[in-house]
Amino acid sequence: MARAVSTRIKIGYTVAAWTVALIIFFPILYTVITSLKTEQAAISGFDLWPSFSLESYRDVQSQYNYFKPFMNSVILSLGSTALALAVAIPAAWAMAFSPTKHTKDILMWMLSTKMMPAVAVLVPIYLIFLRTGLMDTRIGLTVMLMLINLPIVVWMLYTYFREIPGEILEAARMDGATLKDEIIHVLTPMAIPGIASTVLLNIILAWNEAFWTIQLTTTNAAPLSAFIASFSSPQGLFWAKLSAASTLAIAPILIMGWFSQKQLVRGLTFGAVK
């Protein structure tokens, strides 16, 4: 890319690219601005100047107890990620370092479970949750989120683990390292970046999951995705509050997403595009 481009052409491309980017980003920007307005200002026509009022942020907490769904989102996304890792790390590890002739088939089959449409199993899952008392509990939803993202977690970890050269293991073994030494001193440090990327992507997916959270919660375990969906009709016109609730709901994930673009490509394409 060392080709010289005239400044004028570069400015032309820059203007075009920024225009497109700002149009795409506009709904998010406008939500943040609206969240800083008062309710009256929010519906009094197009205006990009916020009144810098934090009133709506205070109101979503005092009127809707915002902290509760927020904490539910945190607990569900972290909890389901931890659970998924506990199951997926050993599996991905075994498949990457002691592959058998069935490893590829197993991986493909795991991927296929991700293709199952959620709505096809809505009825049985709903009834199971009702009858076992898991409905509207954090533990039930945590397990649910773990299951739907498990294939992606195994896949991502597998593609990362497979990049760790096997020779390093052999060298360590020659030096007399035990299996325990191998895992703690050799493999873990090399696996940590891959695990971190996987964690990031899984938290994003779990945080934004909306189908199961809406189906399987009411008030107690409802995370932000279910809480905001319930804003749809009655509070329809309280835009400043809706914007404040939305801003807080998307901000943490937006920032995480900015830092994980590369991992996202890899995770969401199951390693097909790197």
Binders of another protein in range 121-150 (CB under 8 A): 121-128, 147, 150
Q: Does 24 bind another protein (CB under 8 A)?
A: yes
8 A C-beta contact, residue 266 and residue 159: yes
Considering only residues 166-205, where is the footprint of another protein by CB under 8 A? 166, 170, 204
Q: Does 249 bind another protein (CB under 8 A)?
A: yes
**67 is a site residue for another protein (CB under 8 A):** no
- Residue 237 sits at φ, ψ, to 5 deg, of -100, 0
* Cβ distance to another protein smaller for residue 166 or 193: 166
Q: Does 243 bind another protein (CB under 8 A)?
A: yes
Pair 140, 71: CB distance under 8 Å:
no
Under rule CB under 8 A, residue 236 binds another protein: yes
Tell whether residue 225 is a contact of another protein (CB under 8 A): yes
Type of residue numbered 35: S
Interface segment toward another protein; rule CB under 8 A; list 59-67, 132-140, 194-202, 262-270: 262-270
Minimum distance from residue 97 beta carbon to another protein (Å) = 7
CA distances from 116 to 111, 112, 122, 205, 271 (A): 10, 7, 11, 16, 20
Q: Of 118, 139, 184, 192, which lies in the binding site for another protein, with binding defined by CB under 8 A?
A: 118
What is the radius of gyration, based on Cα positions, of the chain?
Answer: 23
Q: How far is it, in rounded angstroms, from Cα 129 to Cα 121?
A: 12
Sequence-separated (6 or more) residues with CB below 8 Å from residue 169: 97, 182, 186, 187
Stretch that binds another protein, among 53-61, 63-71, 194-202, 232-240 (CB under 8 A): 232-240
Output the six-digit token pair for 243: 């914007």
Q: Which residue, 69, 93, 114, 107, is CA-closest to 226? A: 69
Confirm or reject binding of residue 206 to another protein (CB under 8 A): no
Q: Quick check: 40 binds another protein (CB under 8 A)?
A: no
Q: Which of 137, 181, 190, 271 binds another protein (CB under 8 A)?
A: 271
Regarding 46 and contact with another protein (CB under 8 A), the answer is yes
Figure out which of the listed residues 62, 101, 119, 234 binds another protein, where binding follows CB under 8 A.
119
What is residue 236's three-state secondary structure? coil
The reply to whether 97 sits near another protein by the rule CB under 8 A is yes
Are the beta carbons of 217 and 273 closer than 8 angstroms?
A: no
